[in-house]
Structure 1
Amino acid sequence: MENVPPELQQGLRSMGLLAPDTFARGQPLAGGVSSDIWHIALPDGREACIKRALPKLKVAADWRAPIVRNRYEARWLARAAEAAPGSVPMLLGQDEASGTLAMEWLPPDRHPVWKARLHDGIADAAFAGDVGRRMARIHAYAAERPELASDFPTDSLFHAIRLEPYLIATARVHQDLAPKLVALAARTAATKLTMVHGDVSPKNILVGPEGPIFLDAECAWWGDPAFDLAFCLNHLLLKCLWTPRAAIGFLQCFEVLATAYLASVAWEAPATLEARAASLLPGLLLARVDGKSPVEYLTEESDKARVRRVARHLVKCPPDRLRTIRAAWGEEVGA
């Protein structure tokens, strides 16, 4: 382990996790583009995960976001822990001045990242169903408590780190689809129903001993739960190109996750939510090759062309059921 940077040390002191005359040591963790993340050891022997939001994200495009987003991540973690105990790491503290947040450390040997398991071709449909159910439980809890909306005044932040870099940036590349992509962004921005995570991706989900654990709610927002559903399902489509031998299993995960989630929707008509998710998903699919945050594992132009072929058609002719997307993608990848 090495010395933790001074700004993180100060954040730990401000959170009351580190005495003024002591120092933490740690190890930087890879994988994030929006934060510096460290595994740290405190002088009293406790371990923690600490992250500091970056003003400029670590991507090729000029993508900036306010570091105050850690404030809302902390609020999301606290509420999600109430909604679905065990589904998030325990929040240890948050310091707005330094943009740092501390959580319990979850050992990787007992909490592998779902993305890594998918890369290995492990298509666990039962786990995918648990992801859908826990996501819906969190959405349902907040939807029943509309007063929580005031805890997430993050419309401009969500636009800056989700709607603009995904849908609006993609509209600039595919100008013939721009009216439809911009309309999707506008509809999403205007739909205010519950507390949204904003980055429900396999890289942000741990396979815990008791089920899925959600991480990295920097995009937390009061808005459209269909965004979380579509965002997560999108990754199961893309993984079919990353690990082709598991494509059939990944599409089964897609079906099971969607079914489990929709079966738990009670705050609105499930078919209404599904229609929003189904029409949004193709725009998000296209964004992962032509937006500001392309997935790092699609490097072959032939794979990008496959995404564009399916996504463009579905943006032009928006589906209202998720099975339509599953069928179109399954035909494309032979699954």
Structure 2
Amino acid sequence: MTTPLTTDTAVEHLRDRGVLGADVAASATVLDGGVSSATFLVETEGERYVVKQPLPYLSVADVWPARLERAGVEANVLGLFGALTPDHVPRLVDYDPKRFVVTMAAAPPSWVEWRAALLRGAVDPAVGETLGRVLGSWHAATRDDPEVLERFGDLGMFVELRGDPYHRTVAARCPELAGPVLACLDELLAERRCLVHGDFSPKNVLVGADSRVWVLDHEVAHAGNPVFDVAFLLHHLVMKAVHLGARDGAAPPRVHACARAFVDAYAAAGGLATDARSAARHTGALLLARVHGKSRATYLTPDEVSRVSLIGAQGVRGELAGVDDLFGAAVRSDPVD
């Protein structure tokens, strides 16, 4: 068992690793908001670093164990994606394989988490377009690359962090939907076409001026089916449309436009997961996971949970043909049983 870092030991860790000199003044603060890692911001007079150490159990209501070795995956992926799109991921500074600690450059203080911006109703389709272009370029660049498929071929952590707590938990709790939900998981485990991020979510996107973005949290990355990344972002945007639409009827069309910009830019960049109906099915499975699985979307009200559950069921059963149908279902006003 590794010793957990604290605000005091995070600074000492960077000194021990040679990132900070012995005479460099530094302070550390806890970065809140994540459930999978202890994360700290370490600041000196001229530098800012994020120091991240994974938790052996995720901080959720259900018991959710995960291997600490996922930190090594994140470090490796930061190096690879950093070479492909250096402007869209933080720079890897150091990785300590004994303590499973990743150190990376921190974003400028003015940058904001995209999830927080979306929940405030600040929806910028240019961010969706940039994310589609970045994701499409990652998938295209790693397509059928034998070295990548070998290096990231272990699906164990994907199953621990996604397959079990999402699909298999939904199948157990919603047996009437177990068939199509588990069929989605089978597709994800069977097809290995490129390097998949695995957590392509608004909470893992930082946005700066002129819609500049960084994509964070690469620890679930694996050689797999690219539809997972496309569906993962789409399901978050569908939930935001449902949530915002309860207060502002003009918000869902903005989120829809953002999603459309994302999928169009993804396809234009050479993205591999361009089958709209397949993306809708996988989006449906993930929507169900966020209201019935181990990783609940806590900002949804009970009525919104019911709406998301209905959209998820329609999607995973193949009743929705693509992005337009998903967002059409998100704004429907018919009662949910």
* Aligned CA distance change for structure 1 residues 92 and 185 (closer, same or farther; 3 Å): same
Rounded Cα–Cα distance in structure 2 between residues aligned with 1:313 and 1:332: 16
| Matched-pair contact (CA < 8 Å) for 2:241–2:331 | no
Deviation at 1:263, TM superposition (A): 2.2
* Aligned CA distance change for structure 1 residues 252 and 332 (closer, same or farther; 3 Å): farther
How many equivalent pairs are there? 326
Rounded Cα–Cα distance in structure 1 between residues aligned with 2:183 and 2:16: 43
Report matched runs for 1:159-308 at 5 Å. 159-209=159-209, 211-244=212-245, 245=248, 246-265=251-270, 268=272, 271-272=274-275, 274-298=276-300, 300-308=301-309
Deviation at 1:170, TM superposition (A): 0.8
Deviation at 1:242, TM superposition (A): 2.9
Query: What letter matches 2:101 in structure 1?
Result: T
**Cα deviation per residue 1:130-186 (whole Å; 9 max; x = unaligned)?**
111111111111226331122213301100001111111111111011121111111
| Matched-pair contact (CA < 8 Å) for 2:180–2:317 | yes
Rounded Cα–Cα distance in structure 2 between residues aligned with 1:203 and 1:333: 30
Deviation at 1:14, TM superposition (A): 5.4
Name the SS of the counterpart of 1:243 in structure 2: helix
Rounded Cα–Cα distance in structure 1 between residues aligned with 2:151 and 2:217: 17
Q: Which moved more, 1:230-239 or 1:210-219?
A: 210-219
2:7 alignment counterpart: 4
Rounded Cα–Cα distance in structure 2 between residues aligned with 1:332 and 1:218: 38
**Cα deviation per residue 1:273-304 (whole Å; 9 max; x = unaligned)?**
x4432221100011111110011201x22111
Rounded Cα–Cα distance in structure 1 between residues aligned with 2:21 and 2:55: 25
User: Structure 2 regions of 5+ residues with no counterpart?
Assistant: 1-5
Rounded Cα–Cα distance in structure 2 between residues aligned with 1:22 and 1:58: 33
Rounded Cα–Cα distance in structure 1 between residues aligned with 2:307 and 2:144: 41
| Matched-pair contact (CA < 8 Å) for 1:196–1:224 | yes
* Aligned CA distance change for structure 1 residues 332 and 261 (closer, same or farther; 3 Å): farther
Query: What letter matches 2:265 in structure 1?
Result: A
1:127 and 2:156 aligned? no
Deviation at 1:10, TM superposition (A): 6.2
1:66 alignment counterpart: 67
Rounded Cα–Cα distance in structure 2 between residues aligned with 1:333 and 1:80: 44
TM-score by length of 2: 0.89
Rounded Cα–Cα distance in structure 2 between residues aligned with 1:118 and 1:105: 21
**Cα deviation per residue 1:44-71 (whole Å; 9 max; x = unaligned)?**
8532110100000010010010011010
Deviation at 1:24, TM superposition (A): 5.1
1:316 alignment counterpart: 317
Rounded Cα–Cα distance in structure 2 between residues aligned with 1:5 and 1:320: 52
Name the SS of the counterpart of 2:30 in structure 1: strand
* Aligned CA distance change for structure 1 residues 41 and 271 (closer, same or farther; 3 Å): closer
* Aligned CA distance change for structure 1 residues 173 and 73 (closer, same or farther; 3 Å): same
**Cα deviation per residue 1:49-98 (whole Å; 9 max; x = unaligned)?**
10100000010010010011010101111111111120001100111111
Deviation at 1:313, TM superposition (A): 2.3
User: Structure 1 regions of 5+ residues with no counterpart?
Assistant: none
* Aligned CA distance change for structure 1 residues 45 and 168 (closer, same or farther; 3 Å): same
Report matched runs for 1:136-151 at 5 Å. 136-143=136-143, 145-151=145-151
Report matched runs for 1:34-113 at 5 Å. 34-41=36-43, 45-109=46-110, 111-113=111-113
Rounded Cα–Cα distance in structure 2 between residues aligned with 1:319 and 1:10: 53
Aligned-CA RMSD value? 2.4
Query: What letter matches 2:113 in structure 1?
Result: V
| Matched-pair contact (CA < 8 Å) for 1:124–1:253 | yes
* Aligned CA distance change for structure 1 residues 21 and 151 (closer, same or farther; 3 Å): farther
Rounded Cα–Cα distance in structure 2 between residues aligned with 1:291 and 1:102: 31
Q: Which moved more, 1:31-40 or 1:276-285?
A: 276-285
2:3 alignment counterpart: none
| Matched-pair contact (CA < 8 Å) for 2:242–2:330 | no
Rounded Cα–Cα distance in structure 1 between residues aligned with 2:156 and 2:25: 36
Deviation at 1:195, TM superposition (A): 0.9
